[in-house]
Amino acid sequence: MKSKLPYLLLALAASAGLWVALPTPAPAQAADEDPAVVALVAEIVNQQATLQTNQNSMDEKIAAIGEDVRQARLWAARGGK
């Protein structure tokens, strides 16, 4: 029995860890949500969309600058010697 005790403890610990790690269901939303909260969430969603648009614009500009630097290095490597 002594040789099986560590395996039993390991199995109990694993099952307890699995039980703790299981996700719990989210509470149901109330039918009468606060209009101020709904307005704030809508504003945050709009801000996130604006931030994503700005990020995409910056990524395009950075890619263009990177391409310009790459071409400048190629031209410099061809002729400067």
Residue 2: its pLDDT value, please? 56
CA torsion, ordered 13, 16, 21, 23, to nearest 10 deg: 170
49: nearest Cα among 61, 57, 37: 57
Residue 71: its pLDDT value, please? 93
Question: Whole-model pTM?
Answer: 0.50
13: nearest Cα among 21, 3, 23: 21
Structure tokens at 18: 């699995």
Domain ranges of the chain: 53-81
The Cα 6–Cα 76 span in angstroms is 69
pLDDT in tens, 36-58: 888 999 999 999 999 999 999 99
Low-confidence ranges of the chain (pLDDT < 50): 1
